[in-house]
Each structure stands twice: as C-alpha cells, then as structure tokens.
Amino acid sequence: MKIKLDCFPCYVNQALEAAEYANMNQEKKWNTVLTVCEELAKVERSEPSARIGQKVHKIVRDFSNTEDPYREQKEKSNEIALGYLEEFRDKLAESEEKLNIAARLAAAGNAIDFGPRREFDVEGELKRGMNEEFEINHWEKFLEQLETAKEILYFTDNSGEIIYDRLFVEQLLGASEVEKLNLVVKQGPFLNDVTEEDAVDLGLDEINKVYLRTVDNGDGGNSPGLWSNEVEKWIEGHDLVVSKGQANYEGLSTYSKENLFFLLVIKCPLVERAVGADVGKKVFINASDQPG
C-alpha cells in the first residue's frame, strides 16, 4: 500500500507511544515528534506506507537510550501468550479441522494487544476468535496449493501472537509434504515485531524443517526491505507464502501472486477499504483475488 494522508496522524501517535516505552523525558519526546513531522513532510506519495513506518521508528530509536524500546513489552506479551499455549494446543488436538482452527487462532492472536497498556480477556478473545469464520475466506484455494507445496515462506508479525503462529506452522508442517518452511522475522527491532533474536529466544529455529530469514527493520542492515525485488524473488521461489498481519499486508499487497495469502485482522479504515472487510474482521485472502 502507498502512503495516504490518513496515515500521518497514526505515525505521530506511534512515535509518541514508542517514546513512552523508551522512557523519554518531555524534551526528548518533543524533539522526537518534531523530527518525525519533519520526515513526514518529505514523504513522496509513491512510497510504501510500511517504509515510512520504518523511518518513523528509526527516528525514535535514534533519540532513545535503548536499542529496542519495546523489549519489555514484547517479553510480557510472549509470557502472557505462552500461558495459554498448552490449553490451545490441546484444543487443536481435539479438533477435526486442526489446520483451519490453527489459522483462525493465529488470526485471533493478531487481534489482541498483549501489551500491558490495554486490558484484554486474552483467553476469551482467543476462544472467540478461534470459533469465528474468516470474513473473506480463500481457504480452499490455499488447501489446493498446500497439497503440492514443498517450500513455504511465512512472514511473521508481532510478539505474543507469534506463539499462535507457531501452532499454525506446526500444523502446516504436519498436514502436508512440506520439506522446508522459511520463517521471516525482522533483522532488528521495529515496534513489537518479532526479531531474529526474539525468534531464537523462543526456540522457533529449533522446530524441524523451520529456518529463519530476516528483512530489514529500517536500520539499513544487510537484509532486504519487505517491498524489495529480493523479497519478491523469495515469494516467487516458494510454492506457498503466508503473510501474517496488517503491516505485512501493507508491504506486500502490491504483489498479485497466486501463491501469496494474507492472514490478518483489519485494524485500519484504509485497509478496510482496500480489503473490503470491516475493521475487526479476520480475513484469509489470496493476493491474486484482492478487491480492485
């Protein structure tokens, strides 16, 4: 998705939130937000919205005294999510539609703010989300491709929900002839996204047939950007691709690929209009069948 005017207030609010997590004083917050506004004033209309988000959070990290303002929040998110892992793994074991239920559970995790700033009935939200159908559902097309898939690419999103992505990944590996699943994480900190360090700490690299790949977090490392030609080649080089979460949708939605599927909860009116489903709804969309 390209940047829209409606994105600007959201980026300023994100900068303020990140500054809070980084424990900045008022002077630093003021200078951080001013610098973000200066950066937004230089934005080209053709730029991907995901790229602007990276620039905003790079500014916050540069002004803060911490490499990862969200580190504590991510740890708490994972701790909360892990507390329900075995309960929902048992529920999956009892289900006759394990793969589909695991996908819904991963989406339900995407809907929850696991952080300490908001109150959620996490268990209730997960149960409700697990039982709700996708508002837009290209599941049968996904299953057709899964039957012959040997290599899968899976773009991860946030901490906390990554615990339930793991359940979906396990079911994908167990329900198909997949030989390899490349799990894409951020090379370094960005918001509360899962980083390579986070993934290793959670043991995701120890899952049989799972391998980690990294995309740039905006620091200009040696990993490709989400919207780069290299990542497009990754997509083309895999039999099946799952893009989890709204931010990944924003970065990859320009790719109209038959093998690319978006799994997310709609959280923004702009994405609501682009996708054709209301805010709060879960969708499972094939990239080649997107509205418009």
- Give the Cα separation of 100 and 92 in Å (integer): 10
First to last CA, the chain: 13
> What pLDDT, on a 0 to 100 scale, did the predictor assign at position 208?
95
Polymer length of the chain: 292
Farthest-apart Cα atoms in the chain, separation:
57
Q: What is the mean pLDDT of the chain?
A: 91
Q: What is the mean predicted confidence (pLDDT) over 259-278?
A: 92
Specify the pTM: 0.93
Percent of the chain's residues with pLDDT above 90? 67
> What pLDDT, on a 0 to 100 scale, did the predictor assign at position 2?
79
Q: Which of 28-37, 119-128, 144-153 has the lowest mean pLDDT?
A: 119-128
pLDDT tens digit sequence for 180-234: 999 999 999 999 999 999 999 999 999 999 999 999 998 878 999 998 999 999 9
Task: Give just the sign of the alpha carbon dihedral 75, 241, 58, 5.
Answer: negative
Please indicate whether residue 113 or residue 124 has the higher confidence score (pLDDT).
Answer: 124
Q: What is the mean predicted confidence (pLDDT) over 159-186?
A: 93
User: Which class for 139: exposed (0-12), middle (13-18), buried (19 or more C-beta within 10 A)?
Assistant: middle
Q: Which of 152-156, 182-186, 214-218, 239-243 has the lowest mean pLDDT?
A: 214-218
> What pLDDT, on a 0 to 100 scale, did the predictor assign at position 101?
94
Q: What is the mean predicted confidence (pLDDT) over 16-44?
A: 93
> What pLDDT, on a 0 to 100 scale, did the predictor assign at position 144?
96
Residue 277: what are its φ and ψ, rounded to 5°?
-135, 150
Task: Tally Cβ neighbours within 10 Å of residue 7.
Answer: 21
Q: Is 137 helix (H, G, I), strand (E, B) or coil?
A: strand
